[in-house]
Structure 1
């Protein structure tokens, strides 16, 4: 792998992670706004929050991971997204080990599924 290919590999992975993080932040802010406007019950918010994080991982990988090595790029993007979102949301709401582990699964599994679909469609 030459230098430009390595650069493209890392740029696509980081771009997907950052795109996912931005989408998740916007989604959580909109969820908070909707919760205030429509007085949603508090037990619904964590479930919708996890769904938003999974959708963010899917969108980031689907839009930003291109060309070859889909699975590696998707895994790196998911782990970077998980680390950044865990730091961000941990500072805002506190850390819980179960939540961190669940966030990792919610980031990695959809990203891998999207990468496998992209591999299958590419052939």
Structure 2
């Protein structure tokens, strides 16, 4: 089982010829950080928009994870949390509860839409269909 202090396999994944030269490795790390920052910033911009914001953010974290130990630790933590959530979601009791909540929500939305149509009619907005 992985723990926070288990650092096996962590560290730079830069090619050996880059690691051999300190200035080249520093430039490599700066480049990886800059590209990862751009990807994470793009993901943050996508959060309020329809799009894969969290996926892009984790993609940027994965880029950082090729070079920085702190990002590798964050990714390990996130992977453990996602695995735990998936295990809990697969629990039959949780699935029945979630299915019941979804069914009640669909019924409530259906009733509200039906009441709206009954009260105001099914007129398309902004003069569409005239």
TM normalised by structure 2 equals: 0.33
**Higher Rg of the two aligned structures:** 2
Q: Give the structure, 1 or 2, with the largest relative contact order (CA under 8 Å, sep 6 or more).
A: 1
TM normalised by structure 1 equals: 0.35
Q: Relative to total residues, which structure has the larger helix share, 1 or 2?
A: 1
